[in-house]
């Protein structure tokens, strides 16, 4: 069972599994007051961050999430609206003066689609960020006694399994999830999703002693997402309102991207039904619609509860009984 209610204690002290929709807006465009896409998975007061949309730094702080409780970060893909605030987040959440992290933190994300082209993946992105802010970082290490940010941030580019052979930005084979991270609180698995022309693009699943949460990332309607979300307690899935874009003077290329790279509400419903997911939360909302319009589309294909995320909302996964063991 999942409730859209805040836990009784502050998040950094709360037991159980909680999901915070820190930011819910899609794309490098500002069409509402909502911050850009970012989601936090909180387990017994420790948290994991998925994506770094515009505004995540302040949104996480407002939610009561401090860098000192950060365990790991996950990047679904390298579109700018998912990574643009990596610099601010790291610089505002590092070191004791800001209740930031002082132990190593992993950032896991895609490698470059084509290393021979000279483009970089997650590792190159973060390396350039740290280099760009090296003056500030070096000064604070000396002047404020902070640990080396260069050593604390540990980037791991996700290696694709053999089952992903032949995948590219246009075609993603059906595959099984594969594990990318594990600690004493969570086991995180990933799967390739389709978000052409971007490649690789991942969805992530967090399995804990209290239940499971899946974050779709950006994707068209995908059988892989259903596979990853099988039996999940909560599926946080992107959605697009195509009518919003079709009614406006957008270029044909832009309209085509929305149609082939994102999931309609009805498509989200089909994904959730195939997966047997217990609850759906719509986030990364591309285009504008009312809550009733978003949820009505999902309801045509899915009989379970559906919510439209708001920035800063907390969804609490309530286990049927107290967990006896760690997921690890």
Span 3-35, pLDDT tens digits: 655 667 789 888 999 999 999 999 998 888 899
> Does residue 170 lie in a domain region?
no
> Does residue 93 lie in a domain region?
yes
Q: What is the 3-state secondary structure (H, E, C) of 182-216?
A: ECCCCEEEEEECCECCECCCEEEEEEECCEEEEEC
> Does residue 103 lie in a domain region?
yes
Q: What is the domain extent for residue 189?
A: 12-159+176-315
Structurally, the chain folds into a number of domains equal to 1
Q: What is the 3-state secondary structure (H, E, C) of 62-80?
A: HCCCCHHHEEEEECCCCCH
pLDDT of residue 326: 43
Q: Model-level pTM?
A: 0.94
> Does residue 171 lie in a domain region?
no
> Does residue 247 lie in a domain region?
yes
Q: For strand 153-157 and strand 306-308, is the pairing parallel, antiparallel, or unpaired?
A: unpaired
**Structure-block tokens of residue 39:** 């989601």
pLDDT in tens, 276-326: 999 999 999 999 999 999 999 999 999 999 999 999 999 999 765 544 444
- Furthest-apart CA pair in the chain: how many Å? 59
pLDDT of 144 strictly over 80: yes
> Does residue 274 lie in a domain region?
yes
pLDDT of residue 102: 97
> Does residue 165 lie in a domain region?
no
pLDDT of residue 322: 46
pLDDT in tens, 44-102: 999 999 999 999 999 999 999 999 999 999 999 999 999 999 999 999 999 999 999 99
pLDDT in tens, 223-253: 999 999 999 999 999 999 999 999 998 999 9
> Does residue 99 lie in a domain region?
yes
Task: Assign residue 81 the CATH number of its domain.
Answer: 3.60.15.10
Count how many residues are written for the chain.
Answer: 328
């Amino acid at each position: 069972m999942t409730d859209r209610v805040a836990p009784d204690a502050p998040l950094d002290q709360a037991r159980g599994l909680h999901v915070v929709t820190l930011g819910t807006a899609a794309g490098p465009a500002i069409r509402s007051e909502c911050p850009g896409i970012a989601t936090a998975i909180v387990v017994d007061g420790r948290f994991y961050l998925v994506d770094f949309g515009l505004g995540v730094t302040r949104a996480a702080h407002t939610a009561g999430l401090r860098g000192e409780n950060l365990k790991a970060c996950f990047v679904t893909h390298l579109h700018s609206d998912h990574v643009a605030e990596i610099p601010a987040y790291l610089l505002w959440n590092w070191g004791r003066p800001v209740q930031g992290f002082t132990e190593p933190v992993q950032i896991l994300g895609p490698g470059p689609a084509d290393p021979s082209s000279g483009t970089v993946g997650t590792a190159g992105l973060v390396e350039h960020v740290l280099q760009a802010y090296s003056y500030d970082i070096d000064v604070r290490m000396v002047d404020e006694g902070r640990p080396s940010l260069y050593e604390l941030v540990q980037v791991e580019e996700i290696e694709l399994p053999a089952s992903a052979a032949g995948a590219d930005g246009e075609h993603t084979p059906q595959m099984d999830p594969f594990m990318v991270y594990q600690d004493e609180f969570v086991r995180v698995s990933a799967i390739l999703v389709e978000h052409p022309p971007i490649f690789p693009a991942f969805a992530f699943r967090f399995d804990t002693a209290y239940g499971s949460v899946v974050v779709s990332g950006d994707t068209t309607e995908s059988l892989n997402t259903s596979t990853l979300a099988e039996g999940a307690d909560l599926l946080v899935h992107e959605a697009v309102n195509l009518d919003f874009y079709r009614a406006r003077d957008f270029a044909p290329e832009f309209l085509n991207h929305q149609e082939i790279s994102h999931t309609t509400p009805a498509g989200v419903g089909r994904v959730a039904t195939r997966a047997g997911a217990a609850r759906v939360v719509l986030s990364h909302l591309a285009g504008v619609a009312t809550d009733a319009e978003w949820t009505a589309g999902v309801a045509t294909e899915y009989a379970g509860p559906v919510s439209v995320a708001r920035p800063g909302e907390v969804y609490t996964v309530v286990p049927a009984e107290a967990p006896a063991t760690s997921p690890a």
